[in-house]
Amino acid sequence: MSSDALLRVESLSAGYRDLQAIWEVDLTVQAGQVTVLLGRNGAGKSTTLLTIAGLLRTLGGRVELGGEDISARPARLRTKMGLALVRENKRIFRQRTVEENLLIGGFIMRRAERQKALRRAYEQFPILLERRHQLAGALSGGQQQMLAIAQALMPQPRVIMLDEPSAGLAPAIVKDVFATLTRLRDEGVGVLLVEQLVDQAMAVADRIVLLDQGRVVSAGAGAGMPDIDKFRGVYLGRK
């Protein structure tokens, strides 16, 4: 693994109560690059993201952000250090307004910084400015996903992790989501992406990590990933 990775995960193991779900997962995310984590349902992708974010207890291994070991840090402090997670199923506060959701995303920031971040969010996502006084639950599915991403970006994270951001969205909105990921990469943010749309994910990937039954079975650089036949067999069910 690269020695200058912004996010480094080494031999990460985790699970739920007595059920272990991932074993010794290794991956890295560079600044200004997209690492895509692929695998079938139940492979351990979401568990990996939740553990990196500090929302699941680590059973073993190490998580580093910017060269600092954050393995024992609570989720709140990991957020403060520059790690963000956009969870699947558009986890927003539906009974609060768009603007309230954004301000919640910036809860760790000072008031003046939060207002700056709010203006930046509206510049990046103009539709949210138009809808800022509406309840988040009244937004379309695509607008809710944009709100979830904008909320995570409020504190200007160094690394953002996204779990199935295209799920349930129309093709035109999916295109907007991937355009946002590309923009974040170009701005120097490190992106760790779990995505069901394999072709689109591989098209933006600088690095691909393939999980099967909680273990990394292959990893490589983008389209040049080694063992591509193994990838197709594991993920697509083809040999």
b/e map 37-72, b = 16+ CB within 10 Å: bbbeeebbbbbbbbbbbbebebeebebbbbeeebbe
Whole-number pLDDT of residue 237: 57
Do 149 and 179 have their domain in common? no
Q: Quote the domain boundaries for residue 4.
A: 1-82+158-239
Whole-number pLDDT of residue 95: 94
Whole-number pLDDT of residue 239: 47
Whole-number pLDDT of residue 133: 97
Whole-number average pLDDT of the chain: 90
Do 50 and 167 have their domain in common? yes
116's tokens: 């700056």
Backbone region of residue 54 per phi and psi (left: phi > 0; alpha: psi in -120 to 50; beta: other values): left
- Provide, rounded to the nearest whole percent, the portion of the chain with pLDDT above 90: 73
Whole-number pLDDT of residue 226: 55
Q: Cα separation of 236 and 102, whole Å?
A: 37
* pTM, full prediction: 0.90
* Number of separate domains in the chain: 2
Residues of the chain under the 50 pLDDT cut: 239
Whole-number pLDDT of residue 111: 87
Do 59 and 98 have their domain in common? no
Do 41 and 52 have their domain in common? yes
Q: For the chain, how big is the Rg over CA atoms in Å? A: 17
Do 4 and 49 have their domain in common? yes
CATH code, 57: 3.40.50.300
